[in-house]
Structure 1
Amino acid sequence: MGHGGPVSWSEWLAEKLARSPGAVVGALSEELRFPTADGLVVVREESQLQHFQGSVSRARCTTSGIEFDLRRLRVGAEEGGLVTLEAFEAVDREADLVVRAGSHSNVVRCHGVLVQNVGGTHSRLLLCDACSEDLAAHLANRPGGELSAGEVADLGQQLAFGLAHLHSLGILCGSLAPAGVLRGTRDGLWKLADLRRAAVLPVAASEWRERCMAKPQARGRGRSDDALKPEADVWLLGSTLSAVLFGGGSSSSSGTGSSGSSAIDGVPAVPPHRLTDPGSARLWLLLHWLLAEDPESRPCAGESAALLGAVVHTPPQELLEEMPRRQRQRCRNAAMAAARQLAVDLAVSAPAVPGSPTGRRHSSRAWQLAELPLKSLREELDDPSLVDLLCANCGLDPEAGAEDGLEGEGGLEGSAAADAAAVTAAGEIARAAAVKQDQRSSDLSTNASSSSEDSSGGGGGGGIRGGSAFEEGNPFDIYGSTSSLSQEAERRKPEISADLLGLFD
């Protein structure tokens, strides 16, 4: 090679692969002929893509030059065994549903399907619209793996449009993980692409679970075999948007989503300072609605799209009024807990200022502050502007009285009353923990420096670490993962328990 001598086929091929592997793959690949609604489309494979764990490659029409994504749905015998009938049916069902989904700007379109059998492997080849990246890769390239509130709302609206289209065709999506959401190359829109767990409605939960080989629900309330409703997809949408916006958790491959610390209805107990951003706070309120316990209480996919499109510009009071009463109560209770938590954080971490009515004395009174109502907590602050901003963003009146007056439409009922009770009980937890800390403090020392160490977390495991009452493990945390509010919410996981939550692997 390179000296004028004869060149073997293997040497020529090695040289071409080193210079331009994609071109050689395209030149050597066979032509694939797809019958489509627009006639016969002949394509050649060019290069492998990262979508769906490498099961997608880029293909180009030999006539028009238009790019497509070529996705392979494979099922093969393992270790010389036989392919099961269930595996065959799963591949065929997914291919059929992808075709049935038809054309929509927020659903990946399949133009044609081919059957390809090689050895012991059965494949369905799907000729789909070209996509540039999936949501998981997009998030990985963003600082902190998060998007702004406006970007998340826009993403959610596009996905909700796609879900509404599927529901109009009687299709349950059944999965909404970042790896299954793709961005179109031509239009730049986000599209639903993963229908592995999709089903034609109506379908019983037990039947759907068996098809998807999902785990049985560990704790249901007698509804595990109810027919799944389209609003189950709305819950998945809310779970995915929650993980994307606030982080602290990631959506699993099944698309259920999880979070490091959970609050009411599965919405993450985000640090209160995040709610001082108006867009994040309003979207956080809306997520409570999408993640409602009962499917009947959630908005449909089309309504969700409309709400997400306007959420960052909608006054929080208006958003709360549109919610069902039970969700409105829970939002206000959770927002009040967040406001109180922020006020305690600010009071405890405030530096000592000579002549200031607040400051150092708060470090020794953290347990007392934790049980005060918001109105009294504001009076303990030199500057309550951040607390007032959080309240304004969440539709609360910071000058309101005790938390038991949050809902003025006949009082609180059922689990909503339990939420309010949990907020009140947080102070009791704080008081009990503080008694133990006071005992530790007195054992160590009785002087002011000893008290200061205890308040900063140096006097034992029960102290307020770094002056923040939101730190994990903090007994004074009235809002985060160690509070009775979160414990109550953990005890009452959303009851899509019977729909989707917990049905996945």
Structure 2
Amino acid sequence: MENRQNAGGGLVLAGRYRLGDCIGKGGMGRVWRARDEVLHRVVAVKELTAGIYAAEADRVLLHARTQKEARAAARITHPNVVTVHDVLEHDGRPWIVMQYVEGRSLADEVKKSGKVPPLEAARIGLRVLGALGAAHAAGVLHRDVKPANVLLARDGSVLLTDFGIAAIDGDSTITRTGEIVGSIDYVAPERVRGADPGPACDLWSLGVTLYAALTGESPYRRTSPLDTMRAVVSEEPRHPAGVGPLGPIVMALLAKDPESRPPAAEAERLLSAAVTELESTGGVPGPDRPATAATVATRVISPDAAHGTGRSGGTGGLPAADDFLAADGFPGTGTGTGAGEASGTGRDTSPGGSASAPPPTPTAVAPTVLAS
């Protein structure tokens, strides 16, 4: 690493954060395990390297997003949200100092195990819902809920991380016209069609995350960004098998119409009931449940309805393929908050990321700004 001060120690940022091992890297940058020499604690430091090679306008945008990530996380105080301690600039690029989480991401867990048992998935979903509820109450939309951004700590806690593309009430937007940021197969259909995001968008992403955890694969991932967007907007996934009471809940969260998705409080009630039921059976899911009116409002998505509110320049109302660029996210932890064992390898840690699995998650970003 550049600017090493001496052989016995790493670069010291802001006179207090001494960098140690690199524990994650991806298209946006690197994440380091570090020591706060003032408070004598281990922290994670996120280094944004993408701006090094970007044009000046894109570098300014990246810095603005970094500041926004810190402001978004600072608004939220919740045990299931990773804490941001500090944001600083060094060598002309931003760095974020965060809570260090010892463990692994949900994406890593799915890659290792193939899928997550229904009881564990329901418990994880409840914790993420709690984090989203706190974020929404603080006026923050996460906009990038996915398995790589859900951390499973070794002490059993679950934390939501990476508010790098969050939307904050009262803040002006820093997303450029025609740009979608986030991992495309986790982006809600109304966002793909160009509508303003709302809390229901995060609940959709949670539904896709739970589906991926339960089945080992994203329900919408296809071989190209444009095909993935079409699937998000117009295709209905198969009902997940062998998941008992979780099936109808996940399908309810994946309703194409945001008004048809259960609000956070109702989703929490449904997941709590599922946890209680699964605990009573020792985690055995029992027979699958069909989606019913009690848990999901089904509707037929016609081509016109699916594509009629799209952005200009695309095919069938979708954004043009040139508006997107596949980019690696941070491996394992998503933001490198120390989800340890598999971090720092630079490999794909998304569900199904083996050689025989579907291609890595396409990430929707503008051509010169890598996000998510």
Q: Give the C-alpha shift of residue 266 in structure 1.
A: 3.5
Determine which of 90, 98, 101 is the counterpart of 2:73: 98
Please say if residues 238 and 287 of structure 1, whose CA atoms lie closer than 8 Å, have aligned partners that are also in contact: yes
8 Å contact from structure 2 (residues 106, 213) kept in 1: no
Note if contact 1:206-1:225 (Cα within 8 Å) is conserved in structure 2: no
Q: Using a 3 Å threshold, how does the CA distance of structure 1 residues 107 and 227 change in structure 2: closer, same or farther?
A: same
Provide closer, same or farther for how the CA distance between residues 98 and 294 of structure 1 changes in structure 2, counting only shifts above 3 A.
same
Classify 1:147/1:495 alpha carbon distance in 2 versus 1 (closer, same or farther; 3 Å).
farther
1:58 to 26, 30, 33: 33
Shift of 1:494: 7.0
- Alignment counterpart, residue 215 of structure 2, candidates 234, 246, 252: 246
Matched, 1:32 2:13: yes
CA contact (8 A) 1:238 1:291 kept: yes
* SS of corresponding position for 1:55: strand
Matched letter for residue 70 of structure 1: V
Name the CA shift for 1:269/1:290 in 2 (closer, same or farther; >3 Å): closer
Distance 2:304 2:277 in 1: 30
Shift of 1:169: 0.8
Q: Displacement, 1:151? A: 1.1
Matching of residue 268 in structure 1 with residue 242 in structure 2: no
Contact 2:151 2:159 in 1 (8 A): yes
Q: Which runs of 5+ in 2 are unaligned?
A: 279-285, 312-316, 320-362, 365-372
Deviation at residue 192 of structure 1 after TM alignment = 1.6
- Matched length: 293
Identity of aligned residues (%): 22
1:379-433 deviation digits (Å, cap 9, x = unpaired): xxxxxxxxxx84xx4279xxxxxxxxx98x9xxxx975x6xxxxxxxxxxxxxxx
What is aligned with 1:78?
A: 53
Paired residue secondary structure (1:141): helix
Q: Name the residue aligned to 2:249.
A: 286
1:150: Cα distance to partner? 0.7
Name the larger-Rg structure. Answer: 1
**C-alpha separation between the residues in 1 aligned to 2:137 and 2:158?**
19
State the match for 2:160 in structure 1.
192
SS in 2 for 1:49: strand
Q: Give yes or no for contact 1:44–1:61 (8 Å, CA) kept in 2.
A: yes
Pick aligned residue for 1:170 from 139, 144, 149: 139
Could you tell me how far 1:82 is from its partner in structure 2? 3.5
Encode CA deviations 1:124-169: one digit per residue, 9 max, x unaligned. 3323333432222222221xx2011111111111111111111011
**1:169 to 1:209, Cα distance in 2 relative to 1, 3 A:** farther
- Distance in 2 (CA, whole Å) between partners of 1:287 and 1:92 is 33
Cα distance change on mapping 1:197 and 1:83 into 2, 3 Å: same
Q: Is the 8 A contact 1:45 1:57 kept in 2?
A: yes
1:418-469 deviations in Å (ceiling 9; x for gaps): 6xxxxxxxxxxxxxxxxxxxxxxxxxxxxxxxxxxxxxxxxxxxxxxxxxxx
Query: What is the rounded CA distance, in whole Å, between the counterparts of 1:204 and 1:147 in structure 2?
Result: 39
Q: Supply the AA of the counterpart residue of 1:92.
A: Q
Report the TM-score when normalising by structure 2. 0.63
For residues 208 and 502 of structure 1, what CA distance do their matches in structure 2 show?
16
8 A contact 1:46–1:60 mirrored in 2: yes
1:394 to 275, 289, 296: 289
Judged with a 3 Å threshold, the aligned counterparts in structure 2 of structure 1 residues 172 and 123 are, in CA distance, closer, same or farther, namely same
State the alpha-carbon separation in 2 of the partners of residues 188 and 74 from structure 1. 32
Q: Which residue of 2 aligns with 1:303?
A: 266
Instruction: Name the aligned partner's letter for residue 68 of structure 1.
Output: V
Secondary structure of 1:127's counterpart equals strand
Mapping 1:211-230, distance limit 5 Å: 212=180, 224=193, 226-230=195-199
Residue 44 of structure 1: aligned partner: 18
Equivalent pair of 1:69/1:127 in contact (CA under 8 Å):
yes
Give me the whole-angstrom Cα distance separating, in 2, the residues matched to 1:57 and 1:215.
Answer: 23
Separation in 2, partners of 1:215, 1:138: 19
Deviation at 1:83, TM superposition (A): 5.0
Q: Which runs of 5+ in 1 are unaligned?
A: 1-23, 35-41, 316-388, 397-405, 419-488
Matched to 2:196, the amino acid is A
1:67 paired with 2:67, answer no
CA RMSD between the two structures: 4.6
Q: Distance in 2 between matches of 1:179 and 1:223?
A: 21
Alpha-carbon separation, structure 2, partners of 1:197 and 1:72: 16
Which is helix-richer, 1 or 2? 1
Between the aligned partners of 1:104 and 1:221, the Cα distance in structure 2 is 28
Q: Does the Cα contact within 8 Å between 2:52 and 2:93 map onto a contact in 1?
A: no
Residue 127 (structure 1) aligned with residue 102 (structure 2): no
For 2:219 and 2:13, the matched residues in 1 are separated by: 38
Please report how far the alpha carbon of residue 197 of structure 1 lies from its aligned counterpart in structure 2 after TM superposition. Answer: 2.2
Match of 2:368 in 1: none
Alpha carbons of structure 1 residues 160 and 114: separation in structure 2 relative to 1, 3 Å: same
Q: Which residue of 1 aligns with 2:354?
A: none
User: 3-state SS of the aligned residue for 1:174?
Assistant: coil
CA deviation after TM superposition for structure 1 residue 204, in Å:
10
- CA separation in 1, counterparts of 2:308 and 2:124? 23
Bigger RCO (CA 8 Å, 6+ sep): 2
Q: 1:188 to 1:124 in 2, by over 3 A?
A: same
Could you say what secondary structure the match of 2:159 adopts? strand
Cα contact 1:26–1:47 (8 A) shared by 2:
no
Return the alpha-carbon distance in structure 2 between the equivalents of residues 247 and 197 of structure 1: 25
Contact 1:70 1:125 in 2 (8 A): yes
| CA distance 1:223–1:198, change in 2 (3 Å) | closer
Q: Structure 2 counterpart of 1:72, which letter? A: E
Equivalent residues of 1:199, 1:208 under 8 A apart: no
Instruction: Give the superposition deviation at 1:305.
Output: 2.9
**1:203–1:43 CA distance, 2 compared to 1 (3 A):** closer
CA shift at 1:201, angstroms?
Answer: 3.5
Show the counterpart of 2:108: 137
Are residues 127 and 223 of structure 1, via their aligned partners in 2, closer, same or farther at CA, if it must alter by over 3 Å? closer
